[in-house]
A and B are shown apart, each in its own frame.
Chain A
């Protein structure tokens, strides 16, 4: 069956110019981060008591994990609805998820003022269960672990195919064992993101006087859950299209078209809930303000609706370039919605201004760069990406061990 193609290690030169660029960008951000640990957060950022989270929380955590939700959204389709044809998309999505969530977690650690007290999180009885942030923190930590366990089959396959007899037997022994436990791990990988992605929206429920009325609604958790799914499906299409261009990864246009139809439904659902909620709560008058709120609201609506219509058009479905563009817009839509809720349409009150500092921006860019670098490294070394065999690519590391996550 064609659904059972095996992912392969891409191989190739590790330190190419792209890799060097990514690593230097990360190096730069590492300097800022080290500096921050000696001086505090003030000197490297423009954060204030009014804008206490700057861009690190809204972008490094809320947007990065939205991008990482590809693992969640494809997992839902593939495992829960048993659409085996999507299996080829799982490994790259899971790897992106594991990386994005790890970056989100480490960004929090850098942003925490008193990070050394974070070890108290291990003390379950002192958890304040009313805190949405506690739920996010605990869930994200658990989910990062789950995601890397989901990456393990690829690493074990790589080990099984290795030259070293020790690693080979190690991979052959543990690969199938892990496979038996996978359903119970994958089930966690469905429950945990459902919880914390909605909690990321729930976080802002309490800031009722600060989040603009067009964004502040009881439906925040639901809208954040929907937007992570639409971002996730978008990310998978964007990612695979890039992988095809770079490494001739297998690229099934029909599959993408079907996936994108699901995404169109999610995007429409988001817009419908948003608009009905605004009307039902009598907030239509807020649309009469000719200011940045209106601009960002219209931009969001455009970014959600445009890809939704495009995904349903047969022309776009046939054309990889257009589908890529639409998928990119779907990711941007969710990202914009998240940043608006947390930052652009969040008003701390009179007298507070915020624009990210160079230091904050460097850290965010550096984090994204190291994420890409880690993805490239693992994809070159281990079987993650399904390569189109017709192009006669090297078969180094092609997996022999069939695990749940490989199919």
Chain B
């Protein structure tokens, strides 16, 4: 009855798998490598890429992560906040949805 995205699930899943590496990269920037390193202990880039936050909220989140052990040189803190809030602001469209590879099972 429905002609939906679900009807093309296998295609989407395949595309999702292929595109995962691309979509999971953080965008280019002078501080990108340091952000990768600081966050990778606990997170992949996907959790960062799905956020859409103001500079104020990014600041709060970054400071929480630093408190919890993210290794951020204090001299880089402002650059981190600028990079994150410019890369993932509230008005940016959502990322592509990524699926676990393989066909739906029961």
A and B are partners in one complex rather than unrelated chains: no
List chain B positions with a Cβ less than 8 A from chain A: none
